[in-house]
Amino acid sequence: MSDIIKDTLLEGQAKSSVNKLIKHIGDDKVIFKELMVFVFGKDERLSRYASWVMTHCCETQPQLIKPYFEKLIDGLKKEKLHHANKRNYFRVFQEVEIPEKFQGELYDLGIKFALSANETIAVRVFALTTSYNIAKKHPELLNELTPLIVELNKYSDTPAMTSRTNTILKELKKRKL
């Protein structure tokens, strides 16, 4: 394993470091796997930084994350997972195609996090979007989720949640037309 990833992560959380790693990783599954070692590693600070890089890599190379779905979902179940990791995991999940075998569990986790007052607003918003994207493919889930979105919208006390629920409600309205 090369030290480039670790050394760059140790530089700190700067956009220049992220860009350097994105360029280094490209679409190489082997190098991305090296990054994921840090995402799932015990060093919390490196894990947070690596998960941030992971989100940016997956914006242009979403196929890289496929082998890690199960491990990311298992990570979301851990009590002590840092909120930055949760945010980054859901940020990736809201942008990629979720395999059928993970959709039910991830949908439920997304709802749990979206409704939790103990989570940061970014975690809640990305979790809600993840659940919504899964529900769009399953009308029965969409029927279940819609009233929750309406309630979150009605009682939202943050601009981010209000914006996200408004966006989803507009999409739902278009779907019914």
Domain ranges of the chain: 1-60, 77-177
**What average pLDDT does the structure give for the chain?**
93
Q: What is the pTM of this model?
A: 0.93
Q: Residue 15's pLDDT is what? A: 85
On the question of pLDDT at 127 being above 90, the answer is: yes
pLDDT digits (tens, 9 = 90+) for 35-45: 999 999 999 99
The label of the residue with tokens 């019914």 reads 176
Q: What is the pLDDT at residue 1?
A: 53
Backbone angles phi, psi at 118, to 5 degrees: -85, -10
The pLDDT, as a whole number, for residue 12 is 78
pLDDT attached to residue 73: 97
Per-residue model confidence as pLDDT tens digits over 141-173: 999 999 999 999 998 889 999 999 999 999 988
The pLDDT-based confidence of 177 (bands split at 50, 70, 90) is low
Burial label for 126, CB within 10 Å (0-12, 13-18, 19+), is buried
**pLDDT at residue 174, rounded to an integer:** 86
Task: Note the Cα 104 to chain centre separation in Å.
Answer: 16
pLDDT for res 176? 74
Kindly indicate the confidence band of residue 59, based on its pLDDT and cuts at 50, 70 and 90.
Answer: very high
- Six token digits for residue 83: 């909120």
